[in-house]
Amino acid sequence: MRVAMYYSNLDVRLEETPVPRIGPGEALIGVEASGICGSDVMEWYRAEKAPLVLGHEVAGVVAQVGEGVERFSEGERVVVTHHVPCNTCIYCLSGRHTVCDTLRSTSFDPGGFAEYLRAPAINVDRGVIEIPDGVSFEDASFAEPLGCVLRGQARANAQAGQSVLVLGSGLTGLLHINLARALGAGLIVATDVAEYRLDAARQFGADFAFSATDDIPSRMREVNDGRVADLVIVCTGATPALGQALQSVERGGTVLFFAPTQPGVELPVSINDVFFRNNVTLTTTYAAAPADLTAALELIAAGSVRVGEMISHRLGLAEAALGFKLTAEAQESLKVIIEPQR
C-alpha cells in the first residue's frame, strides 16, 4: 500500500509498505480522510522518531475485522482515535482520561497518511466510532481536533455569556472561536499575525479580530466596556502570547494554555499579581478521550461547528509533501486534508 513517510517537514516521501495484517479483536481501516495537525509539523517533537507515518485525525471505512469483533462490520464508516484510555485507573475514574498511562501509550499502525491502518483490539473496543449519517469523511476527520477543543473548554469551565479572547487564529483557534460561539459565549475577540487568518476568525464567530502585535489588553478593554477577558485561550506557541494572556485576563478569569511551545520555554508568573486577590486560574489541556470525539461528531452532524468551511486544501497521498509544507509555513492554508484513496 502507499504511505506518506515523514522524514522532516520538507522531506515527506510517497513509499510502498505492506498492508497491515490484523489479528483477533482488531480491524483494518481503509483511510478516506486524514487531517494534518499542527503537531505533525512540530519538527523538534517528530524528528527523533523519523522516519514514520504520521496522521491521527482519521476517518475511513472498516475494510476487514478480526475474529471476535462484533461491534463493527465491513463497510461501516468510522472515525478511529489513536489514543484510548484504560477506563480503570485513578485518572480515568476521576474523568482525567487524557493523563492515563494507557492513553499515552496506545496508537494504531501505521498513521493515517496511509491507504490502510490496523486498529489494535483496545482501539476497536473503545476508540472506533461510527460516523453519523450525512457527515462526510472530511468533516468526520475533525472529530479528533474538535474533541481536543471540547475537552479544553470544559477544563477551562467555559460558560455562556463569558467574554473570550483567543490568541492565535490557526485551525485550533478557529475551532475554539466557532465552538465558543456555538456554546453561547458573549463577546469573542481573536488575534493573529496574518490578515487572512483574522478574516477567518471573523467568519467563524469572532466579533473583533486584532493584529497580535497590537496592545491586546487595551484593545480588549476598548471593545469590552473597559474589561479584559473572562476566558483567554492561547492557541499559539509564540512566546509573546504568554505574556499577553496574563495581561488580558479579568479578575476571577481563566487562562487556558492550549498550544505547546518550543522546548525550554518558561512562563514567568508573578504570584501576587495573578493569584493574590485576582483569583486567576491557569490551566492546560492535552489530547481528547473517545467520549470527546463522540461529542464532537454530534456537534459536526448538527452543523453547530462549521468544520467543512475550514478546509483549505484537499490532497492525495502523492501530494502529502505539499500539505506538510503548507501546514508548516502556516501562510496560505487553514486545514489540509489528505485523502489516501485518491
Kindly tell me if the per-residue pLDDT of 277 is higher than 90: no
What is the model's pLDDT at position 331?
87
List pLDDT tens digits, range 70-115.
999 999 999 999 999 999 999 999 999 999 999 999 999 999 999 9
Threshold 0.85, pTM exceeds:
yes
CA distance 4 to 114: 6
271 pLDDT band, cuts 50/70/90, is confident
Burial class (CB in 10 A: 0-12, 13-18, 19+), 308: middle
Task: Judge if the upstream peptide bond of residue 110 is cis by omega within 30 degrees of 0.
Answer: yes
**What are the beta bridge partners of residue 313?**
336
What is the model's pLDDT at position 274?
78
What is the model's pLDDT at position 268?
81
Query: Can you read off the three cell numbers belonging to residue 64?
Result: 476487514
Neighbours of 67 (CB within 10 A): 9
CA distance 153 to 183: 10
What is the model's pLDDT at position 98?
96
185 pLDDT band, cuts 50/70/90, is very high
What is the model's pLDDT at position 48?
86
The domains of the chain, with CATH numbers, are: 2-143+287-338 (3.90.180.10), 156-284 (3.40.50.720)
Kindly tell me if the per-residue pLDDT of 307 is higher than 80: yes
